[in-house]
Amino acid sequence: MKVLKFGGTSVGSAQRIKEVAKLITDGEQKIVVLSAMSGTTNTLVEISDYLYKKNPEGANEIINKLEHTYRKHIDELFATAEYKQKALEMIKSHFDYIRAFTKDLFTLFEEKVILAQGELVSTALMNYYLQECGASSVLLPALDYMRTDKNAEPDPGYIKDKLQLQLELHPGVEIYITQGYICRNAYGEIDNLQRGGSDYTASLIGAAIDASEIQIWTDIDGMHNNDPRIVESTTPVRQLHFEEAAELAYFGAKILHPTCIQPAKYANIPVRLLNTMEPTAPGTMISNDTEKGKIKAVAAKDNITAIKIKSSRMLLAHGFLRKVFEIFESYQTSIDMICTSEVGVSVSIDNTKHLNEILDDLKKYGTVTVDKNMCIVCVVGDLEWENVGFEAKTLDALKDIPVRMISYGGSNYNISFLIRECDKKAALQSLSKELFDNK
Ligand code: ADP
Ligand code: ASP
Ligand code: MG
């Protein structure tokens, strides 16, 4: 059985829901994972913000506006009075539920419950629509099988058993619709797999049922060899190794969530990225195969801060790096890139919440300098160290751009550069020309 995930953009309007419905009614049995309709989760976050700030009027205004949007979707989506009525009642109950939270104490627990409503609604709408069309479909409630353990990690054994039970309740159904992103935690409370987590849901389900394929459907044509919003002549990448996809996902190619790769990779289930706007295009196949000697793609990540710690005490001293890393660890700030010399170390971070405290602590160990508004550009492909020429090629493409850090050798699949954000466009265009033109 295949698992198909459709993101928020793919179910973002009544029209899009109809198109997805057409795509999934092909007679084959499948599990379909849906995100909330696009913009919904952000709006639910906004509602929660107002409630944290004890402003129920602010929250209510947004709740009413969102409910109104859904009423319009329903009007457009359903043809029969019967299903319109069913859907309107469903929407009303979800929004009344959200409104109930404007009266009481608001904590993280209540926020998670509110955030779960987006996927609960999108899947219910799709299921009603399929039924109105006469398709064979049923809802699998994610809150009954998707679960994290005490370390907030998905619990594969539990997921597998409970999902199996859910499937056995509805044998012979063609389309099993389920919610991405939402789950329960080890205490049975409603929780989620972090923003963008619907891809993770699809991957976990794929591993749990030993799916033949996991398909991630979005609104662009698979992974591109460069960012199509910046570089004109990008082409879709047809095949990627899981590790290459992981590098790209971390460094900005947002069409696949990084967490989704691990379960599929370990279960050796291919992940295919497909385009809802062009369903017959081949998309991108991600598997455990490597294409030898090939550079696949370039990706970039903005809002990076570089920190340099220079110290003569580092010279011939052991334990210096540990002290530096411990400071970042104590502020739960993860380091993306790292470069060292005999007298200094540079690191990059993307979370600057505790930057001032980190800098204060680092100053105990050396002279600290900070560069903000930087950008990581990462080149991905079969970059095993014995292959020659790739470093030269990428460096040559960046010869006119000031490069703050270079990281190579951390994995077999990537070389990363830290540059100024203002140079990103030029860097991506030049790399595209050097690495992909006429090849
Ligand atoms: P989905 O709902 O399918 O998960 P999202 O709502 O997460 O999609 O939004 C992803 C959107 O961001 C897509 O519309 C895509 O066009 C755009 N996007 C973000 N980063 C990139 C990138 N590096 N390359 C191409 N498109 C991107
Ligand atoms: N709806 C959630 C979000 O916007 C999960 C997802 O779309 O993957 O983050
Ligand atoms: Mg998404």
User: How confident is the model over 295-315, as pLDDT tens digits?
Assistant: 999 999 999 999 999 987 766
The pLDDT of residue 316 is 62
Assign domain 295-435 to a CATH class: alpha beta
Give the Cα-Cα-Cα angle 115, 118, 121 (nearest 5 degrees).
Answer: 140
Q: Is residue 35 in contact with ligand 2, taking CB distance under 6 Å? A: yes
Asked if the domains 2-219 and 295-435 are classified in one and the same CATH topology, the answer is: no
Query: Which residues of the chain are modeled with pLDDT < 50?
Result: 439
Nearest to 252 by CA among 234, 227, 274, 218: 227
State residue 376's pLDDT score.
95
> What is the residue with the minimal CA distance to atom 9 of ligand 1?
9
Residues surrounding ion ligand 3 at CB below 5 Å: 7, 196
pLDDT score recorded for residue 248: 87
**What's the pLDDT at 335?**
95
Domain ranges of the chain: 2-219, 295-435
pLDDT of residue 252: 59
Nearest ligand 2 atom, CA 38: 4
Query: CA angle, corner 352, sides to 348 and 357, nearest 5?
Result: 100
**Both structure tokens of 128:** 């009603």
Superfamily of domain covering 2-219: Acetylglutamate kinase-like (3.40.1160.10)
**How far apart (Å, rounded) are the C-alpha atoms in residues 420 and 347?**
15
Q: Are 376 and 416 in contact (CB under 8 A)?
A: yes
Matching residue, tokens 């370390």:
151
Q: Please tell me if the CB atom of residue 182 comes closer than 6 angstroms to any atom of ligand 2.
A: no
C-alpha span between 110 and 125 (Å, rounded)? 23
CB-based contact 167:140 (threshold 8 Å): yes
Contact partners, residue 113, CB within 8 Å, separation at least 6: 101, 190
Please identify, by atom number, the ligand 2 atom nearest to the C-alpha of residue 196: 8
Gap between the Cα atoms of 97 and 91, Å rounded: 10
Q: In whole angstroms, what separates CA 433 from the centre of its chain?
A: 28
Ligand 2 pocket, 38 CB below 6 A? no
Rounded to two decimals, the pTM is 0.88
| Amino acid letter, residue 112 | K
pLDDT of residue 228: 85
